[in-house]
Amino acid sequence: MGRKIGFSLLYRDMWQSSGKYMPRKDQLEKVAPAIIDMGCFDRVETNGGGFEQINLLFGENPNEAVRAWTKPFNEAGIQTHMLERALNGIRMSPVPADVRKLMFKVKKQQGTDIARSFDGLNDPRNIIDSIKYARDGGMISQAAMSLTYSEVHTVDYYIDLADQLIKAGADEICLKDMAGIARPAWLGKIVRGIRKKYKDVPIEYHGHSGPGFSVATTLEAARAGVDYIDVAMEPLSWGTGHADLLTIQAMLKDDGFEVPDVNMKAYMQVRKLTQEFIDDFLGYYINSKNRQMNSLLIGPGLPGGMMGSLMADLENNLASLNKWKAKHNQPELSQDDLLIRLFEEVEYIWPKLGYPPLVTPFSQYVKNLALMNVLQMEKGKDRWSMIADNIWDMILGKSGQVPGKLAPEIIELAKSEGKEFFTGHPQEPYPDALDDFRKEMDENGWDYGKDDEELMELAMHPEQYRNYKSGNAKDDFEADLAEKKAAFEKRPKEDVNVEHECGCASSKMHVNVNGEDFEVTVSCDENGASDAEKTASEKGSESLKSKTGEPVISPLEGRFYYTKESGEAPIKEGDKVNEGDIVGYVEAMKTYNAVRFDRAGTITKILKENGSEVEEDDELVILQ
């Protein structure tokens, strides 16, 4: 029998790579025993980046979910692992050091064994901090290298990076092939180079199946010396997800490796339960195209975990763009048109941005910037005319050092906007903040939770946690789900044409709501004005009464927040502001876009609540 290979089930990442949401706590508890009964997993991925924000968006306590989910695997002797983003912890933006340190301690107490730490730029300074914090918190430190394929990401580059991380104390190495673009021979050379120097350090391969390389790459990685392979399973394997357990197990067994047998009865039970969760509600957030493999992804190299939400983002942005095009008598774009233009723009701007590895959050930043460029150019505006604050931080070096060189036009753009490049340690601009969050919890009478886990959650996800505590998150999710379900239902259309006392016959109109056509009737009042005209008139009158100034509008669709960081003061009515001051932030596609006042004045009315959904051109505040 050949060398032993262990399997790790990516049950969390399976969902994130397919759609927007992951199962609730009760669903996770239901499926865990069947996963254990499969008898073939050494490890299971149980939490990490994105996972806990989803719980908060449900209106569900993420700490209770993690404890309940890890418990059965701990008891069965199956190792659990989480994904964390180094400087960004388990969110999309940088995290103060004291919050990062607390996170590892909390996760260990919640039952998570291994911290898989990666930095989106492969900046060793950020990963080495996580290695130290994880080990101090009692966790196994697995340092992940984000694999991407470019002229600067060579075999020697990755062997050298692994050498730095292991010397800094990493217990294990993960080869994070988040876009599935690692060519088999290329990755084999990397693994052999690491293994030649470090014979006993465990190496794990994590690959997505999107562009089609992953099965061949898995075999080559196993032959080169990896110890663990991450896998998915039906009905969420393949596509933008990961290769299926059954395929990988059969292939490696045939090649002479020692691999565990799979309890097929239990496999089918997990498959059945997963399908039940899809049918229950999660399927409303899974685009069917995410179940397909796509060789076009080889070029832009966008990761599977991001592709899960990309189609939803495209759908929303396409609707907004086509609304604008209809208003300006221009032909609409199809989703495929927009997708191809996006892929082409990613390939164009990626080298200009210094080849940041296309992994969270920088894959989102590159994709978002590419999408904004496409949308702006479609409207006749210039490329680079809208760059979110998070993206500027990446360009300026505040998140770490990009591997390649920035294009001269990007450097000139930064200078023209008065931006300064940062060369210090990426953690420096983000001072400790736990005391501020302790104060907030005390003022609200909130419990810190076991092992300060609720304090950690607030500090890690401030806006989402506040919305969870207020109940707004649950209400918003349930409303969104109801809307999704309604869009899937077929509704009967009735023809009604009733003569009214005023002598005005009602007329029929076709109205499109969320992509579905409805036929409605419009009646008149005693003066002959239609209900629609009357409502519009009344609304216009109300609007005029409430406005004493000019509106500041949202430049894009998303969720509007008054602040981004705990130290910022939110706007309030009566504030005197200057041109360039920040109104607030629109969170779109996981990045925060600052909205600024284009003139000085006084805020007479705030029209949108903190955390509310906004569309492009929605009025946010009135400025006099």
Give the pLDDT of residue 417: 87
pLDDT tens digits for 130-145?
999 999 999 999 999 9
Indicate if the pLDDT at residue 202 is higher than 70.
yes
Report the distance separating Cα 455 and Cα 460, nearest Å. 9
Q: Which fold has domain 1-489?
A: TIM Barrel (3.20.20)
Kindly state the tokens that stand for 623. 């400025």
Q: Which residue type, as a one-letter code, is found at position 138?
A: G
Provide the strand spans (E) within 32-158. 43-48, 79-84, 114-118, 140-146
SS3 label, residue 398: coil
Q: Of 67-76, 379-388, 444-453, 498-507, which range is least confident?
A: 498-507
The enclosing H or E element of 184 equals: helix 184-197
Indicate if the pLDDT at residue 175 is higher than 50.
yes
User: Do 547-624 and 1-489 have the same topology in CATH?
Assistant: no
Indicate if the pLDDT at residue 493 is higher than 60.
no
| Nearest residue to 333 via CA among 285, 296, 377 | 377
Q: Of 61-70, 335-344, 405-414, 471-480, which range is least confident?
A: 335-344
Integer angstrom CA distances of residue 36 from 78, 323, 563:
8, 49, 43
Q: Residue 166 — very low, low, confident or very high, per pLDDT cuts 50/70/90? A: very high
Give the pLDDT of residue 67: 97
pLDDT tens digits for 46-86?
998 778 888 999 999 999 999 999 999 999 999 999 999 99
Give the pLDDT of residue 308: 53
Asked whether the beta carbons of 298 and 181 are under 8 A apart, the reply is: yes
**Phi-psi bin for 234: left (phi > 0), alpha (psi -120 to 50), beta?**
beta
Q: Of 40-44, 150-154, 218-222, 319-323, which range is least confident?
A: 319-323
Indicate if the pLDDT at residue 510 is higher than 60.
no
Q: Span 170-199, mean pLDDT?
A: 95
Torsion angle, alpha carbons of 54, 56, 58, 61, to 10: 110
Where would I find the H helices in 59-154?
Answer: 62-76, 97-109, 124-136
Class of domain 547-624: mainly beta
Asked whether the beta carbons of 166 and 173 are under 8 A apart, the reply is: yes
| This prediction's pTM | 0.77
Kindly state the tokens that stand for 600. 């000085």
Q: Span 340-365, mean pLDDT?
A: 87
Kindly state the tokens that stand for 40. 């073939």
Domain boundaries, the chain: 1-489, 490-546, 547-624
Kindly state the tokens that stand for 590. 């996981």
Asked whether the beta carbons of 68 and 32 are under 8 A apart, the reply is: no
Give the pLDDT of residue 150: 87
10 Å CB burial of residue 37 (0-12, 13-18, 19+) is middle
Q: What percent of the chain has pLDDT over 70?
A: 87
Report the distance separating Cα 327 and Cα 323, nearest Å. 6
Asked whether the beta carbons of 398 and 123 are under 8 A apart, the reply is: no
Q: Residue 89 — very low, low, confident or very high, per pLDDT cuts 50/70/90? A: very high
pLDDT tens digits for 117-131?
999 899 999 999 999
Q: Residue 310 — very low, low, confident or very high, per pLDDT cuts 50/70/90? A: low
